[in-house]
């Protein structure tokens, strides 16, 4: 075998090893991004589950309050309309790739939360309602669900932070640019929550 042939084989072998190394490295980075993306999807499904649980409780809560406080039609209608608005939204995993759609989803859920808070404030004015077993049970379930929603949103934001960090750091940013991975939006606090409420006596 000639000296030129040996050099050519060594060069080809070196290029093959380097190419294989780059391929393996890129595959590892891509797979870690896929794992992070699946984590976001899983956390998102937990958020959706808790919102669905809340939506399922609302008709029973409204019916219970309606039996005691029929004159509070405006508040009851507000809760029903807010729930219907949330129900009309078609929310798929694709909302995670569209910050505008995600913001609309969050606004609709925040609107429903506000309507429910008004409903619970109205209930304070009706001692018989406050002592009704059905109402107390529903109120407890709803409060528990609101806590679960807060936890699910926090967990979602934690997973999204890991995912977005993986996308922005090298080499993730390089692989993400070629494979179409995009940053995901976070749940944000409702506007005005940074201001402490005024208490008047």
DSSP output for 65-78? HHHH-TT-HHHHHH
Percent of the chain with pLDDT over 90: 36
What's the confidence (pLDDT) of residue 2? 80
pLDDT in tens, 20-56: 988 888 888 899 999 999 999 999 999 999 999 999 9
CATH superfamily of 3-179: LemA-like domain (1.20.1440.20)
Mean pLDDT, rounded, for 105-127: 87
Grade residue 201 by pLDDT with cuts at 50, 70 and 90: very low
Q: Of the candidates 80, 50, 69, 74, which has an alpha carbon nearest to the alpha carbon of residue 141?
A: 50
What's the confidence (pLDDT) of residue 184? 93
Structure-token pair, residue 132: 């009704």
Residue with tokens 């870690």: 32
pLDDT in tens, 168-194: 998 888 888 888 899 999 998 776 554
The per-residue pLDDT of the chain, averaged, comes to 86
pTM of the model: 0.77
CA 115 vs. chain centroid, Å, equals 20
Torsion of CA 29, 30, 35, 36, to 10 degrees: 70
């Amino acid at each position: 075998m000639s000296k030129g042939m040996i050099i050519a084989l060594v060069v080809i072998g070196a290029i093959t090893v380097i190419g294989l190394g780059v391929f393996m490295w890129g595959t590892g980075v891509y797979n870690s991004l896929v794992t992070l993306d699946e984590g976001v999807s899983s956390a998102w499904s937990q958020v959706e589950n808790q919102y669905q649980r809340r939506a399922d409780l609302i008709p029973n809560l409204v019916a219970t309050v309606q039996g005691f406080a029929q004159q509070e039609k405006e508040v009851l209608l507000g809760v029903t309309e807010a729930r219907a608005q949330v129900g009309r939204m078609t929310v798929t995993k694709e909302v995670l790739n569209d910050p505008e759609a995600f913001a609309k989803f969050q606004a609709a859920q925040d609107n429903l939360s506000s309507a429910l808070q008004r409903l619970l404030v109205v209930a304070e004015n009706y001692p018989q309602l406050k002592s009704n077993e059905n109402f107390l049970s529903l109120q407890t379930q709803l409060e528990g669900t609101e806590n679960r929603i807060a936890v699910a949103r926090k967990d979602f934001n934690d997973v999204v932070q890991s995912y977005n960090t993986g996308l922005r750091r090298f080499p993730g940013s390089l692989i993400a640019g070629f494979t179409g991975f995009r940053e995901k939006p976070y749940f944000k606090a409702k506007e005005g929550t940074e201001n402490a409420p005024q208490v008047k006596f």
